[in-house]
Structure 1
Amino acid sequence: MTARNILFIMCDQLRWDYLGCTGHPSIRTPNIDALAARGLRFDRAYVQSPICGPSRMSFYTGRYVRSHGSTWNMVPLKVGERTMGEYLRPLGLRTALCGKTHMTADLEGMQRLGLSKTEGIGALLSECGFEVWDRLDGVHPTGGKMPSHYNRYLADEGYEGENPWQDWAAAAEDADGTLLSGWLMKNARHPARVRLEDSETNYTTRRAMEFIDKAGDTPWCLHLSYIKPHWPYIAPAPYHDMYSAEDVPDAIRDRAERVDPHPLLAAYQAHRTSKCMSRDDVRRTVIPVYMGLITQIDDQIGELMRHLEATGRLDETLIVFTSDHGDYLGDHWLGEKELFHEQSVRVPLIVVDPDARADATRGRVNADLVEAIDLVPTFIEAAGGEVPDHILEGRSLLPLVHGATEWPRDAAISEYDFAFREARTLLGRDISDCRAVMVFDGRYKLVHVTGHRPMLFDLQADPQEFVDIGNDPASRGLRDRLEKRLFRWMEQLRTRTTMTDARVDQLTEIEKDEGIWIGFWDEQDVERAMKSPKGRS
């Protein structure tokens, strides 16, 4: 049947290769694997920026970072940018959030337009176009982003302290009852103090099921956005020790990467997070917990699928599972994310469509280059709407899900603004000159870095991206070709967002039809022009 509802599941900082269905040797994710068996798994899906905020803004707007302008986590999304809720609500879908968006509202722009962040359209604009069912952005340090729905829930459940999230969900305790901070990676193997049923992942799943139950017969798009396995790397029992150091894959790195590396790579390798995560003892401590957090999410997705089935909604819901970016976990001598190796910029993506037209691709793996921006047009098409191609820069995935073999994208693009990072000061760059852009054609990956030579990798000859050939004279022609492709991408960005292509066609040469005769010599010229096809005179 055609989908009535859309369940848009996103994890935070989940690597593409830390699932059973994507080939991890020891992690257990049977419920996510079952989604892949029921739907189409896209093996080469890339985010438009390898950090939370700008990546999510691209997911929600269907536009590249250079177009929507939210280049880093604290950079507001411009008040004029349309998001998925604005496209789906007119199509009859209640569009709600349960979890994280990392949205920063353009309060200055709203104030200029006289919009209140608590009322009407202003309330939606300040929440990235979502009706907020429950917002949990994940990191709520004392003095930071407090309060939250989750913190209020913990307080109501009797968890004491000024900041229950930090003191219970993001903390452990030793045998003497001493508080152990989850921010410190040495404490990762201790269980979180919070009860399992009150942990972030279980709470968010339960709230999502409450939304589904209360929505009744109204069609909906629910963005279920888990904040894990993002740091702090601490898990509730029994997930804290479900895996051991023996389950940790060897680090994907080579000592050659530290010999005369590209300046941007060297700067990131010098970051504290990279130095810490590159240590073998840290990897053996942290990664088993990262894996446990993933299995916890998988278990909760199993609960959610059973709930959808029991309530009769499973076969009428389009389900998408993905992540906002990856996690280096010490690979390439790096921690966190933010650069453009596969561990950071490539994400899992599974689409389960109940439509019978998708039967031909169930359980299959698609190798086309797809991007985060493709989901908004996918949802619009699934809801029966017309995709506004003059605004959206992504393409609907439904043709591929329904068995199409032609896909027009020949390259994936991702961007990063490192002005907010220590790398800028280490490199001595001006704030305006801290942009890096990746163009990947399926084999060759070029990273253009303002003020420096490009990085270049051949993923066929060097699938682990150990050898940067960006400075190799023999690669000159290849660099030129990819830089031209990058320039072509910039030319194609959607900047005329207030008028459709169809309307442009209607207005082409309209002035002569309205009696505005520019460039005519005499009446005969006008007569000939009026008889000729549009656009010719």
Structure 2
Amino acid sequence: MARRPNLLFVFADQMRGMDMGCAGNPQVRTPHLDSLAEEGTLFAHAYANAPVCTPSRAMLLTGKYPLTVKVVANDLPLPATERTLGEILQEAGYRTGYIGKWHLDGVPRNRFTPPGPRRHGFEFWAVWNCAHDYFNGRIYRDTPKPIPLPGYEPEAQTDLALGFLQRRDGRPFALFLSWGPPHDPYWQVPERYQRLYDPDRLEPRPNVQEPKGPRVPLGPKDRELGLRRTLANYYAHISALDEQLGRLLEALKALRMDEDTLIVFTSDHGDMLWSQGMLKKQQPWEESISIPLLVRWPGRMPKGRISEQLVGIVDLAPTLLGLMGLPVPEDMEGADLSPHFLGEAAAEEGSVFLMDLVTVDEAQAQGLREWRGVRTQRYTYARFVDGEEWLLYDNLHDPYQQRNLIHEPQAALLKASLEEELRRWMRRVGDEGWCWEETIRRLGLVELWNARERELHPAQPRLLE
């Protein structure tokens, strides 16, 4: 039997799929990501099914939808009983490791996750549950004493990853490296990367507008710097991550492991950055749901390919297992797309199921509420859970989603067809379209929800009885 490949899974936080040179944005400098695309496959239609950190990360590791694993909002814990990629790969003989942001262990965000089932099969552990303070990074290892990370957090985390790669014991490895940027605070990026971008020479996306929600969910420093400087800082973070990726690729080559390593680069969700007058995530517009997805496996996957295959983040776990020659658990809800990844099957027509099950934090501050939707290769459709119509875009002819067709008579048949597609998805995953309170109650999450609210919003918690 051929030796199974190593896995290096690298992901950013809140990075849009369109913001790489290889994805068509000439303003952002990403030479190593561009090289990865040339040597592997760029998936042009990769989406975060539930575009917010914790539910997305739970889907990534379990291959299941948020309702199934009861991770329906940020800062709700992934149950220790859920079986993840970490456990599956460890049981298959892999040396497993996780470095960086976790965001799957509830509150408080600085809590220590002890060795055991809440680490979900990851042996090497250099993790902080959730923090975005890029010059004062910390991690936990195997004791509850925080370890400071010197300098810019992604550089220190990459140093840890390089150390992991160098420590070989004969087993294949599976390393997950989770960087915090380009998630805000955007301004916390080293000056050498800021110097790469002149804010006055950057062109915002054509759909950028002044924020229109009741509150602007930005920290005071980012708010003071404004749109163009913030966009420059966001790009600067991406260039910084690109440089760290280059260090990893160089190390794999020096260690003669590059030919035997399956490399994945992605993100948990995107970032609106003033498009549609909105910020952050948890929204069905392209800037929020589109994620980068670059995959390289020398000798096994096609080089220089741009794939039109629809990929949801829920599909990554079963697809990776398929690529690595491991059985896909029957209870995984994502699709095993490994035949297409290997170039053995054409891209399939279909749709990605999109959702916001419990609107919290930044999205709530901007006046949003729970919604469901679908993204096909061409169209985006979304409605609120109370049935109110919301969005319908033809992304082929309207790539910046500036013409909402939802109330146009000529789109009535299309709207009905997409609504039926949405209902098929909801039936398939057991989604009854509950409001947020009903979701929390039906899933037995009231105690965990109230703990979350008291921790994150002590002045105005939304408590349930």
The answer to whether 1:413 aligns with 2:353 is: yes
The answer to whether 1:435 aligns with 2:431 is: no
> By how many angstroms is 1:439 displaced?
0.5
Aligned to 1:204: 157
* Bigger Cα Rg: 1
Aligned to 2:148: 154
> By how many angstroms is 1:89 displaced?
1.6
Instruction: Report the CA distance shift for 1:90/1:286 in structure 2 as closer, same or farther (over 3 A).
Output: same
Range that drifts further, 51-60 or 400-409: 400-409
Structure 1 residues 4-153: aligned runs within 5 Å:
4-104=5-105, 118=114, 123-124=116-117, 126-137=118-129, 139=131, 148-149=139-140, 152-153=146-147
1:344 partner SS: helix
For 2:101 and 2:405, locate their aligned partners in 1 and report how far apart those are by CA, in whole Å.
38
TM-score with structure 1 setting the length:
0.71
Aligned to 1:400: 340
Unaligned runs of 5+ in 1: 108-115, 158-197, 259-265, 496-537
1:269 partner SS: coil
Q: Write the letter of the residue equivalent to 2:104.
A: M
> By how many angstroms is 1:131 displaced?
3.0
Aligned to 2:462: none
Structure 1 residues 291-440: aligned runs within 5 Å:
291-354=235-298, 356-358=299-301, 361-388=302-329, 390-408=330-348, 410-421=350-361, 434-440=369-375
> By how many angstroms is 1:381 displaced?
2.1
The question of whether the paired residues in 2 share the 8 Å contact of 1:446 and 1:457 is answered with: yes
How large is the RMSD of aligned CA atoms in angstroms? 3.1
Aligned to 1:236: 190
The question of whether the paired residues in 1 share the 8 Å contact of 2:282 and 2:359 is answered with: no
For 1:211 and 1:254, locate their aligned partners in 2 and report how far apart those are by CA, in whole Å.
42
For 1:397 and 1:422, locate their aligned partners in 2 and report how far apart those are by CA, in whole Å.
33
For 1:132 and 1:350, locate their aligned partners in 2 and report how far apart those are by CA, in whole Å.
25
Q: Percent identity?
A: 30
Range that drifts further, 127-136 or 304-313: 127-136
> By how many angstroms is 1:95 displaced?
2.2
For 1:373 and 1:426, locate their aligned partners in 2 and report how far apart those are by CA, in whole Å.
27
Paired residue for 1:485, among 415, 421, 439?
421
The answer to whether 1:470 aligns with 2:422 is: no
Instruction: Report the CA distance shift for 1:489/1:106 in structure 2 as closer, same or farther (over 3 A).
Output: farther
The question of whether the paired residues in 2 share the 8 Å contact of 1:326 and 1:346 is answered with: yes
> By how many angstroms is 1:102 displaced?
1.1
Count of matched residue pairs = 420
1:45 partner SS: strand
The answer to whether 1:456 aligns with 2:392 is: yes
1:419 partner SS: coil
1:461 partner SS: coil
The question of whether the paired residues in 1 share the 8 Å contact of 2:139 and 2:148 is answered with: no
The question of whether the paired residues in 1 share the 8 Å contact of 2:354 and 2:373 is answered with: yes
2:359 partner SS: helix
The question of whether the paired residues in 2 share the 8 Å contact of 1:96 and 1:221 is answered with: yes
The question of whether the paired residues in 1 share the 8 Å contact of 2:80 and 2:120 is answered with: no
The question of whether the paired residues in 1 share the 8 Å contact of 2:13 and 2:183 is answered with: yes
2:167 partner SS: helix
Aligned to 2:166: 213
Deviation per CA, 1:393-428, whole angstroms, max 9, x where unpaired?
Answer: 22233312221233445001121134324765886x
1:413 partner SS: strand
Range that drifts further, 460-469 or 362-371: 460-469
Deviation per CA, 1:127-148, whole angstroms, max 9, x where unpaired?
Answer: 344334211345267xxx9963
Q: Write the letter of the residue equivalent to 2:360.
A: F
Deviation per CA, 1:187-241, whole angstroms, max 9, x where unpaired?
Answer: xxxxxxxxxxx21011010000111112332211100111111111111131132
Deviation per CA, 1:351-400, whole angstroms, max 9, x where unpaired?
Answer: 1113x342xx2011001111112221122123321112x31122233312
> By how many angstroms is 1:47 displaced?
0.9
Unaligned runs of 5+ in 2: 432-465
Q: Write the letter of the residue equivalent to 2:85.
A: M
Deviation per CA, 1:80-109, whole angstroms, max 9, x where unpaired?
Answer: 3221112212211122201112112599xx
TM-score with structure 2 setting the length:
0.82
Instruction: Report the CA distance shift for 1:117/1:223 in structure 2 as closer, same or farther (over 3 A).
Output: closer
